[in-house]
Amino acid sequence: MFKQTLHISTSPHLKLGVSTDDIMRNVVWAMLPTSAFAVYAFGLSVFLLLVTSVVAAILTEHLLCRWSGKESTVNDWSAAITGLLLGLTLPPAFPLWMAFVGSVIAIALGKFAFGGLGYNTFNPALVGRAVLQAAFPAAITTWHPAFLEGRFTDIAGSTLALPFMEPTYDAVSGATPLSAFKFDGVAADSADLALGLVSGSAGETCALLIVLGGIYLIARNMMNWRIPVSILLTVYVLSGIMHWVDAEAYPSPVFMLFSGGLMLGAVFMATDMVASPLTAKGVVVYGVLIGLLVVVIRLWGGLPEGVMYAILLANAVSPHIDSALQNRVYGTHKKAKAV
């Protein structure tokens, strides 16, 4: 007699024969244009930064798997995504040894400590970024100018700084667009923001390329479009209301959308299949919460940027959102309740 087995596993839940490896590999492909533009804008320093963070993440995952007696999971591409995302959130001339430490923490603390892929509560790259922000506040807020001459032949001195030594910066740019507006009231041109012609983290480059990467994943049904749309729409509406109330005190909604790491966070970080809700209503609430926190932190918080903290806080609330907004069981009039 033929016997069927129903296999229930943790998210991401796949269909149409698409494997986790396929999804993760396509996410890497979707991020490659943004990464390539970052290298074009900042040169060898960013290339080495991205390579270091990716290699460190892959190596850490492989060694931890071997140490725990498990089969290595580096072939599922998730470690590569973590390393690449972490590298894109860092300043272009960030010391390589610090990036290496950040990737180790992202994999070990943000992913492996929770049980690996499918079990992590928080986005691993943001866990690594948060630790680096606390450990190296000066280095992570020192920006390098874009489009310098000789960026493909020279490497920034801070990039090759020795471990635990004070980095030496060859050239330091002014404040990022968010910092310039928050502390000086100066707003960058929207076109420059969209095209990546400003200072900032490596991934705060061409917002249009990030959007195209997101569209690619959505078209392949490998990303829940409701999350980035609800985040960006919330930021646009709330910041638009504040700008309408006082245009001099609050930036335009277009500035809020294209500045900082909002696009990168909304498209590639908040959409983490494991750390985000599963229900259709839940992902909308999740996105609205992130968008609300981003606006609140940017406009009234002590820091100019709030995307990282907004996503991490929403990751923590994600299971509770799912619990409160469970789908109705087919054939019943009430929502399912956990036993």
Surface-to-core class of residue 184, CB atoms within 10 Å of its CB (0-12 exposed, 13-18 middle, 19+ buried): exposed
**Distances in whole angstroms, Cα of residue 184 to Cα of each of 14, 194, 262:** 48, 21, 21
Dihedral, 188, 216, 312, 190 alpha carbons, nearest 10 = 10
Contacts of 142 (CB under 8 A, 6+ apart): 91, 93, 158, 167, 169, 172
Question: What residues are paired with 335 via a beta bridge?
Answer: 328
Its pTM stands at 0.88
The alpha carbon of 235 is separated from its chain's Cα centroid by a whole number of angstroms, namely 17
Domain definitions of the chain by residue range: 16-173, 179-201+222-325
pLDDT in tens, the chain (339 residues): 455 565 556 555 555 567 788 889 999 999 999 999 999 999 999 999 999 999 999 999 999 988 988 888 888 899 999 999 999 999 999 999 999 999 999 999 998 888 777 788 899 999 999 999 999 998 998 888 888 888 898 888 888 888 888 777 766 666 678 887 777 777 777 777 888 778 788 888 788 999 999 999 999 999 999 999 999 999 999 999 999 999 888 999 999 999 889 999 999 999 998 889 988 899 999 999 999 999 999 999 888 888 999 999 999 999 999 888 876 666 665 555 544
State the DSSP code for 187.
P
Helix (H, G, I), strand (E, B) or coil at 335: strand
